[in-house]
Homo-oligomer: A and B are copies of this chain.
Amino acid sequence: MSKKVAVVGVGQTAFTRSCGISIREHCFEAFKEALEDCGNLSTKDIDASIVCSAPEYDKQRTPAGLITEYLDLNPKPTFLAEAICASSSVGTRIAWAFINSGLHRVVAIIGFQKMSELTSAESQERMLRGADIMWESPFGSMMPAYYAMFARAHMHQYGTTEEQMAQVKVKSGEYSVMNPKAMFRKEVTVENVLKSRVITSPLKLLDCCANADGASCLILADEDEAKKITDTPVWISGLGLASASISIGSRKTVASLSCAFEAANQAYQMADLKPKDIDVAEVHDCFTIAEIMAYEDLGFCKRGEGGKLIDSGETYVGGRIPVNVDGGLLSKGHPIGATGGSQIRTMVLQLRGDAGKTQVERAETGLVHNIGGIGVYGSVIIFRR
């Protein structure tokens, strides 16, 4: 490993139900904020960009070309990286390799999704085609259906309860009101969750994250550039990326996500850290059960004890391992390509000590867990200040 790589700038739009502007404008907003966050870095200082998004939500094809022209990044290299909901984490991995290898010094990772152009039916149709269209989609395999299956398996195998899942949303709501960029900013009770409309039993409306429009931007740099740009670089110290079968029938279990477990092992090994060394984490809570599974896949508790961990309060600020103290996907909304970038932004603010009311004291090491699809792609990245 030849060069250290740091996140030196972060930006994010507010996540909303309907941004009402074009994808280029939306990306511009996040990019501009990231440049300003780097002490007004110029576009000339960016050596390359990676655009991260899941296709078919808006009509523009090959968006990297369109967006980078608008951001004044021609003739710098650009392309699209896609791993559905984990796209901008994959972009971060690629940027790390570009910088570590010396190919580039400063790289921008621009994640976006504009989901409001689709009707609900169109959105569901896209979701179906994210599963195996030959062998699974015909059976109506939607995201809530898969995660409901995961939840049932977890309940059956470990005794996890609907109340415990609801507790994940309660925590999310508590922090959402402190995040001005979150889409839903409201505290909720366990009862609110349990009484919300059933989507796919056992998941209720408030157990699910929501489609959103949003963009995020991360700027990564090598050690020399990082030190010129900022006094508070946040270093990437561990990277993990793994895959699991897209067909659910081929998995050994549906009570955990093997891609997350594999990716976490890679990241811990590269960073030479253990789960107990992590001070704060962002995990992919697309559904409440997903956060509980993440606790276990990441080693924050033993297998099967994720329900107990949320009950214990140890994943709140002040606890042993605060998780999703920005409200997570459940409150922020989930604009697919922008989500990983938003998680990493939160982590960077935490490790800089700039997280305001949700600051985890003496946070030195943070972990970001970002899942693509139904656990097909799993990314875990560990950061140190």
A residues with a Cβ closer than 8 A to B are 1-2, 22, 48, 54-56, 59-62, 64-66, 68-69, 73-84, 86-87, 90, 93-94, 96-98, 100-103, 126, 129-130, 132-134, 239, 241-247, 250, 258-259, 262, 372-373, 376-377
Q: Are B250 and A373 in contact (CB under 8 A)?
A: no
Interface centre among A78, A83, A87, A243 (most CB of B within 10 A): A243
29 contacts between A and B (CB under 8 A): A1-B101, A54-B62, A55-B61, A56-B61, A60-B129, A61-B126, A62-B130, A64-B243, A64-B377, A65-B372, A65-B373, A65-B376, A65-B377, A69-B245, A69-B246, A74-B244, A76-B242, A77-B242, A79-B87, A79-B241, A80-B83, A81-B81, A94-B94, A94-B97, A96-B103, A97-B100, A97-B103, A100-B101, A100-B102
Q: Are B83 and A81 in contact (CB under 8 A)?
A: no
CB distance from A68 to the nearest CB of B (A): 6
Instruction: Find A79's partner among B65, B78, B81, B100 (CB 8 Å cutoff).
Output: B81
Residue of B nearest to A22 (CB): B134
Report chain B residues within 8 Å CB of A80: 80-83
Report chain B residues within 8 Å CB of A61: 54-56, 84, 126, 129-130
Q: Are B377 and A79 in contact (CB under 8 A)?
A: yes
In the complex the two chains form, what is the Cα distance from A60 to B82 in whole Å? 14
In the complex the two chains form, what is the Cα distance from A366 to B1 in whole Å? 29
Q: Are A84 and B68 in contact (CB under 8 A)?
A: no
Q: Are A75 and B262 in contact (CB under 8 A)?
A: yes
Interface centre among A74, A126, A129 (most CB of B within 10 A): A74
List of 10 A-B pairs having minimum Cβ-Cβ separation, nearest first: A77-B241, A65-B376, A55-B55, A97-B97, A100-B101, A65-B246, A79-B83, A80-B82, A101-B101, A75-B242
Instruction: Find A69's partner among B59, B130, B247, B372 (CB 8 Å cutoff).
Output: B247
Report chain B residues within 8 Å CB of A377: 64-65, 78-79
In the complex the two chains form, what is the Cα distance from A66 to B93 in whole Å? 21
In the complex with contacts A65-B376, A84-B62, A243-B78 CB distance below 8 A: yes
Residue of B nearest to A90 (CB): B79
Q: Are B129 and A243 in contact (CB under 8 A)?
A: no
In the complex with contacts A62-B373, A97-B101, A74-B239 CB distance below 8 A: no
Residue of B nearest to A103 (CB): B97
Q: Are A2 and B101 in contact (CB under 8 A)?
A: yes
CB distance from A239 to the nearest CB of B (A): 7
In the complex with contacts A56-B56, A66-B132, A244-B75 CB distance below 8 A: yes
Report chain B residues within 8 Å CB of A59: 129, 133
CB distance from A97 to the nearest CB of B (A): 4
Report chain B residues within 8 Å CB of A98: 97
In the complex the two chains form, what is the Cα distance from A55 to B56 in whole Å? 8
CB distance from A378 to the nearest CB of B (A): 9
Report chain B residues within 8 Å CB of A64: 82-83, 243, 377
CB distance from A162 to the nearest CB of B (A): 30
In the complex the two chains form, what is the Cα distance from A67 to B133 in whole Å? 12
In the complex the two chains form, what is the Cα distance from A213 to B205 in whole Å? 42
Report chain B residues within 8 Å CB of A68: 243
Interface centre among A2, A103, A250 (most CB of B within 10 A): A103
Q: Are A62 and B372 in contact (CB under 8 A)?
A: yes
Report chain B residues within 8 Å CB of A62: 54, 82-84, 130, 246, 372-373, 376
